[in-house]
């Protein structure tokens, strides 16, 4: 069963990533998807990022009560956690819920209402038209969201740390600037691109092969989120093993 | 002209189409009728390539569609228009963008030319001032008309209509039937209509193919139906008491 779905997924991606019939037409779709995935997710990503940073900062301060450790370490830990894990992975899990379910239900509805059949009868490569713009928009916009998320998470950590009295603003900034290793940023960005591909392609796959009616569209949407989340966590482990 | 030869199609172990052959002439309204589960929709989907046939041929003016791959089918597909049962308009696009879709995708026409073509098609189906509306804002009959406008936007040689009157009131059904017939005559299109609606069959059915249990059971004109002694066809056409009395 796993290989059956894997084979179908690979064939769908092969069709989706074919050269578009007409680039100018696809650009409009890509721009539309960029707005939907990028701008549409900015609000929720901003909110969770601020709180992720704040919680990391406060909890790290709680666990590091020692005169031997400088409080600026809190800034350093918040920064590294935000770049390496919180913003890319937690952000991707949230986006799998928001964007993934949206993609699966959108394509699934098009399938059950014969809109995909209408595209195919016209001679349009339907996987290409429906999935390619979403993947391109995802792999460009989700890393950008992750960069914004990292920034807000670090800022949120600073604000919470200072407000709780765990450390001073100067100590936090010193920590954030200390011993920065480029590898964690590269790993964070690589993760975000991989997660973006997983979210968009897996959700599109689930939607594209929906059959039945409204109930099945809902099931596809749920399955898209569940499978995306599992694959994101698997990819998280693999990337961490390979890059760190 | 569309010719189908010995079309067979199975899903798992169930054979839905059992060797159907027929010829559909250009400039005529060809009706495919039959009870639920008789294979009408499967036959149409096989003919337009939404299902692959197990065996048999679908010839569009002697070009065998079944032997072609996706890329090679595109030129024939550009000559096909299809009206779907639920209209299948793209929800996220306006009426204008729906009708313009294939023109945008496959032609290098200027925007003004495309707009003229869209307006011509919408006028042809008696729709005005709906260009900027979304499908959700239209009535069932209007959606069908937009569906027809989209189907004829590329000047098709072949027009498929899957249950064009389903969900419509009798008066709107007649409007849609007349529209299909007018367009068929005007543009000399080979039109194939899959329907349950016997009023449509009697109104516009130049050639009628009756499917029963996955086989072609009867073929003739709408006038022949009234005098046929084919039991299954009579059971289907004159199913209601009202029609039985009319037949007597």
ipTM: 0.90
pLDDT, average across residues A95-104: 96
Does B186 map to a domain? no
All residues at 6 or more sequence positions from B32 whose CB lies less than 8 Å from its CB, including other chains: B40, B43, B44, B192, B193, B194, B195, B209, B211
In a domain, residue A32? The reply is yes
* B234 in a structural domain: yes
Q: Does A26 touch chain B (CB under 8 A)?
A: no
Contact between B90 and A115 using a beta-carbon 8 Å cutoff: yes
pLDDT at B242 over 80: no
The boundaries of the domain holding residue A91 are 22-243
Pick from A109, A113, A122: which is nearest to B102 by CB? A122
What per-residue confidence (pLDDT) applies to B234?
83
> Between A and B, how many CB-CB pairs are < 8 A?
53
Q: Is B242 at the interface with chain A, CB within 8 A? A: no
Decide if pLDDT at A142 tops 90.
yes
Average pLDDT over residues A99-114: 96
Question: Which residues of chain B lie closer than 8 angstroms to A115, CB-CB?
Answer: 88-91
Residue B163 lies in a domain: no
Q: Does A151 touch chain B (CB under 8 A)?
A: no
Residue B36 within any structural domain of the chain: yes
Q: Is the pLDDT of residue B187 over 90?
A: no
The pLDDT value given to residue B238: 77
With CA atoms as reference, the chain B residue closest to A20 would be B105
**pLDDT tens-digit map of B129-152:** 999 999 999 998 899 999 999 999
Residue A4, in any domain of the structure:
no
**Which residues neighbour A50 within 8 Å (Cβ) at sequence distance 6 or greater?**
A152, A153, A155, A156, A159
pLDDT of residue B248: 65
Domain count, chain B: 1
Which residues on chain B are in Cβ contact (under 8 Å) with A122? 77-78, 101-102, 105-106, 154
CA gap B117, B125 in Å, rounded = 13
Confirm or reject contact between A122 and chain B (CB < 8 A).
yes
Given this model, what pLDDT does residue A84 score? 94
Give yes or no for residue B247 having a pLDDT over 70.
no
Position B61 pLDDT exceeds 70: yes
Give the percent of chain B with pLDDT over 90.
60
Question: Is there a domain that residue B179 lies in?
Answer: no
Percent of chain A with pLDDT over 70: 100
Contact yes or no for A122 and B77 at CB 8 A: yes
> What percent of chain B lies above the pLDDT cut of 70?
98
pLDDT in tens, A1-42: 889 999 999 999 999 999 888 888 899 999 999 999 999 999
Q: In this complex, do B104 and A118 lie within 8 Å of one another by their Cβ atoms?
A: no
Does B191 map to a domain? Answer: no
- CATH code for the domain of B228: 3.40.50.300
Q: Which helix or strand (DSSP H or E) is residue A55 part of?
A: helix A40-63
- Contact state of B77 with A123 under an 8 Å Cβ cutoff: yes
Alpha-carbon distance of A89 to A235, in angstroms, equals 10
Q: What residues in B contact A117, CB-CB < 8 Å? A: 45, 50, 84, 88
Summarised one tens digit per residue, pLDDT across range A158-214 is 999 999 988 899 999 999 999 899 999 999 999 999 999 999 999 999 999 999 999
């Amino acid at each position: 069963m796993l290989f059956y779905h894997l084979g179908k997924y690979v064939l769908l991606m092969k069709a989706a990533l074919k050269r578009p019939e007409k680039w100018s037409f696809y650009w409009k779709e890509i721009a539309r998807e960029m707005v939907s995935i990028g701008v549409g997710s900015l609000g929720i990503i901003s909110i969770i990022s601020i709180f992720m940073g704040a919680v990391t900062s406060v909890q790290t301060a709680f666990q590091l009560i020692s005169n031997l450790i400088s409080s600026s370490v809190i800034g350093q830990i918040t920064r590294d956690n935000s770049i390496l894990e919180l913003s890319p992975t937690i952000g991707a899990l949230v986006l799998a819920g928001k964007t993934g379910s949206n993609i699966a239900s959108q394509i699934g509805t098009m399938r059950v209402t014969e809109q995909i059949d209408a595209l195919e009868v016209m001679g349009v490569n339907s996987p290409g038209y429906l999935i390619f713009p979403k993947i391109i928009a995802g792999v460009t916009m989700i890393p950008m969201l992750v960069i914004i998320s990292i920034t807000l998470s670090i800022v949120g950590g600073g604000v919470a740390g200072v407000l709780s009295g765990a450390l001073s603003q100067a100590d936090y900034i010193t920590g954030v600037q200390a011993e920065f290793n480029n590898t964690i940023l590269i790993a964070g960005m690589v993760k975000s691109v991989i997660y973006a591909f997983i979210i968009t392609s897996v959700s599109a796959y689930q939607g594209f092969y929906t059959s039945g009616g409204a109930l099945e569209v809902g099931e596809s949407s749920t399955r898209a989120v569940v499978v995306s989340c599992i694959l994101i966590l698997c990819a998280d482990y693999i990337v961490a093993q390979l890059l760190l | 002209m569309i010719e189908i030869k010995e079309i067979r199609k199975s899903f798992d172990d169930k054979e839905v189409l059992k060797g159907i052959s027929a010829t559909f002439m250009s400039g005529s309204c060809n009706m495919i009728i039959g009870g639920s589960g008789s294979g009408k929709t499967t036959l149409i989907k096989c003919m337009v390539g939404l299902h692959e046939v197990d065996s048999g041929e679908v010839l569009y003016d002697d070009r065998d569609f079944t032997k072609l791959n996706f890329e090679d089918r595109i030129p024939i597909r550009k000559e096909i228009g299809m009206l779907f049962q639920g209209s299948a308009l793209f929800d996220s696009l306006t009426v204008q963008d729906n009708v313009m879709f294939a023109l945008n995708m496959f032609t290098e026409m200027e925007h003004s030319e495309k707009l003229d073509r869209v307006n011509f098609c919408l006028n042809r189906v008696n729709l005005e001032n709906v260009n900027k509306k979304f499908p959700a804002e239209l009535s069932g009959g209007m959606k069908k008309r937009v569906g027809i406008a989209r189907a004829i936007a590329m000047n098709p040689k072949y027009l498929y209509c899957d249950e064009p009157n389903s969900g419509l009131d009798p008066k709107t059904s007649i409007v849609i039937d007349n529209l299909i017939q007018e367009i068929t005559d005007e543009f000399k299109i080979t039109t194939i209509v899959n329907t349950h609606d016997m009023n449509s069959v009697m109104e516009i059915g130049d050639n009628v193919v009756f499917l029963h249990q996955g086989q072609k059971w009867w073929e003739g004109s709408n006038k022949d139906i009234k005098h046929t002694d084919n039991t299954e066809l009579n059971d289907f056409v004159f199913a209601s008491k009202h029609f039985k009395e009319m037949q007597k």
